[in-house]
Chain A
């Protein structure tokens, strides 16, 4: 329906910005006033007086990767510094990794601890002046760590639930600074993300498609929405390409259904896109009167609203009011129509309606919705049509919906972690891969 345009689904999540001073092991450490550095103030006597501090928020999950870094300002007496991730209920006197549901990379021995007392060989030790990073890769479901800009290694993440970036200090005078992204990282995170996406991209690219399936889908898209001129050009070009493109038709009358009333649909789309609603009504009364005979149908509703919008657009406000009283009043109070009708009428309240919250009605996309609805209605008048639902969505749209639904379902089964699929983002993201390709081309030169 022609409701309010959906907000871009931006997955707003809170991110760690500073250290949490409330639950840190207060007796053993002190956090700086800016909450971005920590110093061990105690004397290390045993394994339960670690100075542990978590970030103020857990790592966000609705993205490809989360990452943060520490800078070891002073490794103190024994360099027993750790970086890692812990769950909310972590015992704040133990090194990350020494307890269940935690993971830590330790500077004194270079081992990785994952919930057992014993660590596993992982990477180099780290000390004063080293920058060490810890991250979660949601695509591969791994923890990974870096030292001075280079990747050290990764381990499988089998901890579920929110995870807090955690740092720990344990010997006298140890001091560590933390960076949650406010400053540039030593590690090239963008490159890492790009490579991760590349990996997935390359797996996908290896999949083979039936020949000419894209060509066929574009063709059926043009037929479905009535883009007659484009279709004719496209077909003509298809005959003269080398080799000529041939799309096998399953059965003869699939073709017929797709081009049903093609010229009429094309004409109506043009009229509606130009805002000529009266003319559109005329044509419909001529060609398919049953579509517009019930004034309370959604098609009539959308057309009347659009007519009203067009009057507002040209500033004919008095005429718009008259029209509204005549044709829109009846829709008030009808479920499903109310929101749009209210938004339309609200246009009258503004001197510059295009800049208001209902300004979306004046955009092309609104005309498009009306045109697509009329298109679907005409397709449904085809006596041969078997699947009414098919009149509403083109094959291409069905495929894109399936793609989105599968990605969302898989992500939801994964605890909602990782990037969601957004067609919009994919369409505008091409250049990431291109940049990597360019590097490769330049390096060959």
Chain B
């Protein structure tokens, strides 16, 4: 059986050479990996950045105590931000808007698209709860004026109002608006806007680094055959396949 794997390996090397790719053996590659210096405190920072950006306040606090890593943002502001996010996720948009304005009135002022999406969510919730009259009034008074200023707002407004035309909303073409994913989308948008207003990046760094790894491997694939990591969750090295 092991002879089989030796042959496979040799075939891979021949193919790599034919494509003039440099072949790097497992041994050579592991030596390169061992030569890399990764500082523990940098990894801790990366984890803290994830906890803080995603809003895990308690975990961030505990991590600060257990690892001595300082969060790059005031933990108190996370609780407020999470309250806003939760409110939107639960459909309490009026509450969320109030909270955002308490946090920082400039956020909605400088973010017309965000504000429109929040109002749109409010409309969706009214329709979901069967409050047809209120919904129509709200659409005409609050959303229509915004729609007049902006073509894409108008289109979204029309899509949302279309919900009212259907008896069976779960099957209609705009039914996705009633999906929880719509609430999550709006919640994410508000979360990002708050982070940006606090001069913090809206996305954690860890996913970008993972994407960078996938990209770097793809780039290196063009020139070399070397052990890759194909499963990010287990981070196991796999020898190059044919």
Listed in ascending order, the chain A residues whose CB lies under 8 Å from chain B are 6, 9, 201, 203-205, 207, 209-210, 213-214, 216-218, 220-222, 227-230, 232-234, 236-237, 242-243, 250, 266, 269-270, 273, 364-365, 368-369, 372, 394-410, 413, 421, 423-424, 426-427, 430, 433-434, 437, 441, 445
Contact = CB atoms under 8 A, between A and B. Distances in A.
Contacts of B213: 399, 402-403, 406
A237 B86 CA distance: 12
- Considering residues B45, B187, B235, which has the most beta carbons from chain A within 10 angstroms of its beta carbon? B235
Interface in B59-112: 59, 61-63, 65-68, 86, 89-90, 110
Interface string B138-173: 000000000000000000000000000000000000
B2 interface: no
A445 B234 contact: no
Interface of B: 22, 24, 29, 32-33, 36-43, 45-47, 49-51, 56, 58-59, 61-63, 65-68, 86, 89-90, 110, 180, 184, 187, 196, 199, 201, 204-217, 219-220, 223-224, 226, 229, 232-235, 237
Contacts of A243: 180, 184
Contact of A221 (B39, B43, B210, B217): B43
A103 B207 CA distance: 41
A209 B208 CA distance: 10
Contact of A426 (B32, B58, B184, B205): B205
A205 B211 contact: yes
A98 B237 CA distance: 50
A209 B50 contact: no
Contacts of A222: 47, 63
Which label, helix, strand, loop or mixed, suits the secondary structure of the B interface? helix
A228 B212 CA distance: 29
A369 B39 CA distance: 10
A227 B180 CA distance: 33
A347 to B, nearest CB: 22
A424 B41 CA distance: 9
Nearest to B33: A401
Contacts of B234: 250, 395
Contact of B220 (A234, A406, A423, A426): A406
A10 to B, nearest CB: 13
A242 B184 CA distance: 8
Contact of B216 (A237, A398, A403, A413): A403
A4 B162 CA distance: 68
A203 B40 CA distance: 29
B41 A400 contact: no
Given A233-B62, A400-B43, A402-B213, A217 B196 contact: no
B211 A401 contact: no
B38 A395 contact: no
A399 B215 contact: no
A407 B212 CA distance: 10
A400 B46 CA distance: 11
Contacts of B223: 410, 413
